[in-house]
């Protein structure tokens, strides 16, 4: 997904280009459309995720056509440093717009701020204490306010600013759009959202910073060793609730069965299940009677289980969006989670794309005491399925059959002939008829 899908003003598109942003970050993907649509938004995201542009871009878009020189947007930040950073971002992203912003915080002279405010600004980035002083002295006029942003609400709370925030909000027009960002959803923050946001859209991006709630790890492995490695990894890892993603329906089913055989409380969720079976798997996973759920991306849509401790990508997702969706199922809010991804050599370009979005290299790990040298069996078990024709699910790779050469990935449009198929062992013998 590119920035063009937001249909931003060409002036903003030009600044995005000049800054070298190629694709929106996950918080931008999720937050920009509802903010543009005028909705109140609660964004669970921390610094480093691109959250500043996620609110600055739609604010600029909204302010571009209207009257100039009145404060139409107020951004409240807990520290001067953050206020300055936001102000700089507004300058960069809005450099072609002639919209003006200024900062308001304590510890520096008040007079330059007063004259700047008098000269006419469109956006004010403020820390709470000094803003209250300006309001008391009537040196700031917020009558025309349309959009309020409360950034890093959890830090505001830690610093004892919530009473100040409430005092400020009481002096603002009631009819406005409000956006709030916080790294966590502590009870105090939830209470504040109930008070200040109206019918908000909540976007959760706790996982984009690898150092925070989710730890990401890649496990390089050859295709034919994946199942064995999965078993070993599960044996060695302290897990609660695990969601495993596979690329095909057939694999989801087969791995579910193998896990059951190995004594795990596991179920699989894939497009071929009846609605009853599907519901039974979902309910069982939610209430803990299944510890492991194996699913394809499509089948897993809408799963919202808050206590998933591990997401395991048995197969690499096709897109970076799919990756963030998958791992977004763990590490929700203040909880921590692990995202393990099995990668074959062919997956490297996709790994690099994901690392670009995360803004960090993902740690490579090996499973201790696991024999990586076992050669592929004659007929690769990963593809040895009964040759029964199946209906295709859009966006999923058709379950593969050794040697047909006909499987295709309709989502990416990539054909994968048997001779060069994704994830196939490069050292083991070729499957029957494959090449």
The contact set with ligand AMP (CB under 6 A) reads 21, 24-25, 28, 47-53
Query: Nearer Cβ to ligand AMP, position 51 or 224?
Result: 51
Query: Nearer Cβ to ligand AMP, position 85 or 409?
Result: 85
Task: Name the minimum Å distance from CB 84 to ligand AMP.
Answer: 12
Residues 6+ apart with CB under 8 A from 370: 228, 229, 232
Task: Name the minimum Å distance from CB 316 to ligand AMP.
Answer: 22
Task: Name the minimum Å distance from CB 48 to ligand AMP.
Answer: 5
Q: Quick check: 145 and 71 in contact, CB under 8 A?
A: yes
Query: Nearer Cβ to ligand AMP, position 8 or 53?
Result: 53
Q: Quick check: 428 and 418 in contact, CB under 8 A?
A: no
Query: Nearer Cβ to ligand AMP, position 56 or 273?
Result: 56
Structure tokens at 392: 């295709």
Query: Nearer Cβ to ligand AMP, position 88 or 114?
Result: 88
Buried b (16+ CB within 10 A) or exposed e, 258-288: bbeeeebebbbbbbbbeeeebebbbebbbee
Q: How far apart are CA 92 and CA 303, in angstroms?
A: 38
Task: Name the minimum Å distance from CB 25 to ligand AMP.
Answer: 5
Q: How far is CA 366 from CA 89, 213, 232, 241, 363, in A?
A: 40, 22, 11, 22, 10
Task: Name the minimum Å distance from CB 93 to ligand AMP.
Answer: 9
> CB neighbours (10 Å) of residue 160?
9
Query: Nearer Cβ to ligand AMP, position 49 or 422?
Result: 49
Task: Name the minimum Å distance from CB 49 to ligand AMP.
Answer: 5
Query: Nearer Cβ to ligand AMP, position 28 or 330?
Result: 28
Query: Nearer Cβ to ligand AMP, position 75 or 230?
Result: 75
Length of the chain: 435
Beta-bridge partner residues of 101? 123
Q: How far is CA 34 from CA 37, 43, 261, in A?
A: 5, 11, 45
Task: Name the minimum Å distance from CB 234 to ligand AMP.
Answer: 35
Residues 6+ apart with CB under 8 A from 187: none
Residues 6+ apart with CB under 8 A from 183: 44, 45, 46, 152, 154, 155, 206, 212
Q: Quick check: 57 and 25 in contact, CB under 8 A?
A: no
Q: How far apart are CA 275 and CA 419, in angstroms?
A: 37
Query: Nearer Cβ to ligand AMP, position 51 or 247?
Result: 51
Q: How far apart are CA 200 and CA 283, in angstroms?
A: 27
Task: Name the minimum Å distance from CB 21 to ligand AMP.
Answer: 4
Task: Name the minimum Å distance from CB 188 to ligand AMP.
Answer: 23
Place of tokens 């007929």: 379
Task: Name the minimum Å distance from CB 152 to ligand AMP.
Answer: 10
Q: How far apart are CA 245 and CA 230, in angstroms?
A: 12
Q: Give me the torsion for CA of 164, 170, 174, 176, rounded to 10°.
A: -20
């Amino acid at each position: 997904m590119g920035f063009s899908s937001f249909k931003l003003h060409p002036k903003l598109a030009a600044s995005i280009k000049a800054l070298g942003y190629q694709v929106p970050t996950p918080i931008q993907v999720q937050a920009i459309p509802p903010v543009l649509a005028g909705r109140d938004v609660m964004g669970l995201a921390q610094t480093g995720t691109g959250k500043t542009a996620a609110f600055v871009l739609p604010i600029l878009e909204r302010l571009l056509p209207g009257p100039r020189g009145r404060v139409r947007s107020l951004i409240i930040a807990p520290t001067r440093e953050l206020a300055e950073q936001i102000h700089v971002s507004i300058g960069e992203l809005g450099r072609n717009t002639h919209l003006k912003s200024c900062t308001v915080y304590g510890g520096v002279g008040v007079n330059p701020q007063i004259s700047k405010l008098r000269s006419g600004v469109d956006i004010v980035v403020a820390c709470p204490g000094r803003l209250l002083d300006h309001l008391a002295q009537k040196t700031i006029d917020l009558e025309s306010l349309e959009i309020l942003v409360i950034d890093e609400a959890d830090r505001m709370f830690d610093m004892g600013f919530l009473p100040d925030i409430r005092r400020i909000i009481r002096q603002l027009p009631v009819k406005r759009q409000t956006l709030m960002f916080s790294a966590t959803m502590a009870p105090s923050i939830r209470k504040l959202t109930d008070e200040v946001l109206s019918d908000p859209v909540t976007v959760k991006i706790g996982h984009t910073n690898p150092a925070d709630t989710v730890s990401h790890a890649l496990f390089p492995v050859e295709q034919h060793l994946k199942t064995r490695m999965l078993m070993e990894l599960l044996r060695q890892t302290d897990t609660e609730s695990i969601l495993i993603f596979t690329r095909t329906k057939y694999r989801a089913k087969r791995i579910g069965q193998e896990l059951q055989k190995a004594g795990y409380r596991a179920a699989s969720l894939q497009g071929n299940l009846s609605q009853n079976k599907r519901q039974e798997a979902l309910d069982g996973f939610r209430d803990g009677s299944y510890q492991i759920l194996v699913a394809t991306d499509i089948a897993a849509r809408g799963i919202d289980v808050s206590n998933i401790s591990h997401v395991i990508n048995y197969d690499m997702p096709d897109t970076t969006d799919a990756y963030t969706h998958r791992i977004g199922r763990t590490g929700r809010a203040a909880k921590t989670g692990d995202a393990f991804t099995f990668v074959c050599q062919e997956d490297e370009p996709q790994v690099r794309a994901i690392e670009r979005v995360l803004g960090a290299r993902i740690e490579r790990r090996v499973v201790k005491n696991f024999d990586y040298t076992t050669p592929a069996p004659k007929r690769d078990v990963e593809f040895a399925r009964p040759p029964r024709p199946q209906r295709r699910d859009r966006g999923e790779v058709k379950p593969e059959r050794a040697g047909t050469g006909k499987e295709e990935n309709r989502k990416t449009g990539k054909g994968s002939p048997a001779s060069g198929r994704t994830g196939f062992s490069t050292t083991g013998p070729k499957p029957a008829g494959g090449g």
